[in-house]
Amino acid sequence: MAKQPDLPSKPFPLVRSSFQEGYAVFSPDGRWVAYNSNESGQNEVYVIPFAGVSSATGGKRQISNHGGSRPRWRADGKEIFYLSSGQLMAAEVNIRNGALESGRVQTLFGGIGVTIGYTYDASGDGQKFIVVRDSDPESSGAPPLTLVQNWTALLKK
């Protein structure tokens, strides 16, 4: 695992703008921050180097192209997941000579509910996801959620 960077001792603004930014998340090595901003007129996902980290160079990079919010990093830092119009997207990212380069973007699947907060999470390898899905528009509401407690006791029967 890479050495974590030395952090500044006093709080400071990550981004200074008149736009709405949110859902900022650190890369696994702590050198980059992914977040969404509406500076283009709609929410898009951007990545910036974390201030004060000498090995991260370059400026802000736009990751999403047709709307994006709620970014999350894959555990190895080689992919960023985000939501776009109810679809879960995956964007490849690479670090070359200390600069971040964005690569191929693909749609993983759709039907994800978009509310306040995160409505999905990914396993460390980016192969499994837990999501809040939109309900079927033909149904009378959201599907029921069943929670089984003490399920190991049922195995003995």
Residue 149 domain-assigned (yes or no): no
Residue 155 domain-assigned (yes or no): no
Q: What is the mean pLDDT of the chain?
A: 82
Cβ burial, residue 136 (10 Å; 0-12/13-18/19+) = exposed
Single-letter amino acid, residue 47: V
Token pair in block for residue 113: 């509910």
In the chain, what percentage of residues exceed pLDDT 90?
Answer: 36
* pLDDT exceeds cutoff 60 at 128: yes
Q: Within 13 Å and on the Cβ side, how many CA atoms surround 128?
A: 2
Is the entire prediction scored with pTM above 0.85? no
Distance from C-alpha of 153 to C-alpha of 40, rounded to nearest angstrom: 54
Least confident of 10-14, 46-50, 114-118: 10-14
* pLDDT exceeds cutoff 80 at 15: no
Q: In the chain, which residue ranges form alpha helices assigned H by DSSP?
A: 151-155
Residue 76 domain-assigned (yes or no): yes
Edge-to-edge strand order for the sheet containing 32-37? 21-26, 32-37, 44-49, 61-62
* Domain assignment of residue 131, given as a range: 21-137
> What angle (nearest 5°) sits at the alpha carbon of residue 24, between those of residues 51 and 96?
55
Number of domains in the chain: 1
